[in-house]
Chains A and B, each alone.
Chain A
């Protein structure tokens, strides 16, 4: 009797599990399908792309689009430029935004709320409002048509973003841990970097990845500031492929696929740092 009841219970649970797994598969398919479609399109010929009935699997797989992109355009140099800018700006943003976020989260000073709101408002300023003033600024420094100009511009949106995300993250770290460190002779600066920083690392890493991605795919600032082929970032190279009213979707999708790779690598490298629960048991409640 007891066994039969347990079996019934097990069955009920497994039905729930089946539904949840189906749900996961549906959601995963929805999430992965656009990426699959990018890959699928990048391997098709223009004729097949414009076919009346879209093919789920390319009928004649061709690497023409990749070949064109890598050998006949400046896509590779565009990737290199984007990489240099994104690495520099994301690291610089963390370097500057972390102490700013720490100050706002931890230090009590007049105007703290004001600064906190300023960070948010600066983040909310739309790119379309800023691109001309920033172009003028960079031009006056003779840095237009140079990736250094973009390195100067991009922190205007990554810094407030990183700071805004880190403020609540740092605030969530128990103050008692810092106080304990101070009791043991640690300075505030020391506590900021030796106690809080490692504990905030998952947040810092994920924010850095987002900052990297923001710079990686940025288009408008690059468009107005960069004119020479040597200085172009990869979004500009891809955009230049579009002219007329019949875009070469296979080349564009090949570019998008190749452009995903560095983001994936960055994510995979930093994956080990994205571990939560470091503070668990750190404070006795």
Chain B
């Protein structure tokens, strides 16, 4: 009797231990990514599975995950296009439109569970976050073939190449433009739109009126403000301050530039050119401040333009807004590139068919029409896409110009695979925002904020090397 009780206790303990060991895979983005199996053995096993499926007469099935775009029309058009492919080829294709915040946790779980879709929407940072177990196939040949046929913007072709390899087929790009309250500038006798960061700061100083809750520049630095992290980063680059060198080593302390810039930004915050609540903003904070009429200048994507244009209640601000190119710096005019594309996962049973599906989505006629509907949300990435009159319109032309000339990427100007992986993983901590937040809130000086950032980068380097 007693023995039986012990046996039961032991069995229960074993069950608990087993369940805990099953839980050892972490749900965190990075750790989950590290579990993605990319071994040759797994690939061979997949090939066998594909052969078995074909021999048994099972219908081929592809799954594609597309990130939800701002335009419902385009989301629907993409789904329709995928179904057309299915009808034409006889391959069953499951298309899922997933919003961006849900994309990564779902993909992590799918990769871990061995159920990764065949094709997914991705970008360089997201792809490199999985390093060293990048879940995507090398699609360089496919990209070259498309490049030869249609001609990518050179910026799109090169910035999506990591250490000579394309892990995804570039599909589109986002852009950043500057929104300026021309009526406010005119009131202050300013007729020329600012073109450099120095001019932006100068204009912001002149128009700031904290007593009336009006500020020169809407830039935030909350914990999750990925939008403004990009803008701060771009500003730093333009003034010659980088986080990394080309070989991936840390450059953030070089010449003390980052620290100096941060202290300067802290001073501007004290002067009152940023809204006081900007330290708590998320990515929507700058748009909101601009729409509310609390800021004279906002640097943002085209989504703000569409909100201003389409909402009757924003009509007045829209009419008083000048839209111009994002500012450049005293050192350079590097713009952050935001390319997106489609990757084929290593676990796909039918990579050739997956490649055909991507080719189908990049068919010039459909693609060009689709991007004309989306304009100015996203820029196409082919020279033959922008010959239509649609792209001559003021804002659309700015978007295309931006995409055509953007050369920066997270970790710029890192060229090594490991260096890009560190930069990508580091990006997800929104380091630029964090440092700016520290100086604005007075919790650290520029130098102290940089020292902390160096420690963070070194910690990530330890996990990658």
Mask for B96-131, Cβ within 8 A of A = 1, else 0? 100111100110111011110000000000000000
Tell me if B105 and A47 are in contact (CB < 8 A). Answer: no
CA distance A52 to B26 in the complex (A): 42
Q: Does A110 make an interface contact (CB < 8 A)?
A: yes
- A 78-117 contacts with B by CB, 8 A: 109-111, 114-115
Tell me if A227 and B96 are in contact (CB < 8 A). Answer: yes
| A4-12, A183-191, A238-246 - interface stretch | A238-246
B209 to chain A, nearest CB (A): 14
Tell me if B68 and A224 are in contact (CB < 8 A). Answer: no
A256 to chain B, nearest CB (A): 17
B445 to chain A, nearest CB (A): 30
Mask for A112-139, Cβ within 8 A of B = 1, else 0? 0011001000100101111111011101
In the complex, chain A residues whose CB is within 8 Å of the CB of B227: 245
CA distance A255 to B130 in the complex (A): 35
Q: Does A50 make an interface contact (CB < 8 A)?
A: yes
| B260-268, B286-294, B351-359, B387-395 - interface stretch | B286-294
CA distance A113 to B99 in the complex (A): 45
Number of interface residues of B (CB under 8 A): 53
From A118, A128, A129, A139, give the contact of B114 (CB < 8 A). Answer: A139
Mask for B349-383, Cβ within 8 A of A = 1, else 0? 00000000000000000000000000000000000
From B27, B101, B313, give the contact of A242 (CB < 8 A). Answer: B101
Mask for B57-90, Cβ within 8 A of A = 1, else 0? 0000000000011100000000000000000000
Tell me if A132 and B108 are in contact (CB < 8 A). Answer: yes
Number of interface residues of A (CB under 8 A): 42
Q: Does A181 make an interface contact (CB < 8 A)?
A: no
A219 to chain B, nearest CB (A): 9
In the complex, chain A residues whose CB is within 8 Å of the CB of B113: 132, 135-136, 139, 144
CA distance A130 to B19 in the complex (A): 10
Q: A132-B25, A224-B106, A245-B284 are in contact. Are A52 and B293 (CB under 8 A)?
A: yes
Q: Does B16 make an interface contact (CB < 8 A)?
A: yes
Q: Does B53 make an interface contact (CB < 8 A)?
A: no
Q: A47-B312, A115-B12 are in contact. List 13 more A-B contacts (CB 8 A).
A: A51-B292, A110-B6, A122-B16, A130-B23, A131-B27, A131-B105, A131-B109, A135-B110, A144-B115, A236-B102, A243-B100, A245-B303, A246-B304
19 contacts between A and B (CB under 8 A): A46-B311, A50-B291, A52-B293, A110-B9, A111-B8, A132-B113, A133-B25, A136-B112, A139-B113, A220-B105, A227-B106, A228-B96, A236-B102, A239-B102, A243-B99, A243-B101, A246-B287, A246-B288, A246-B307
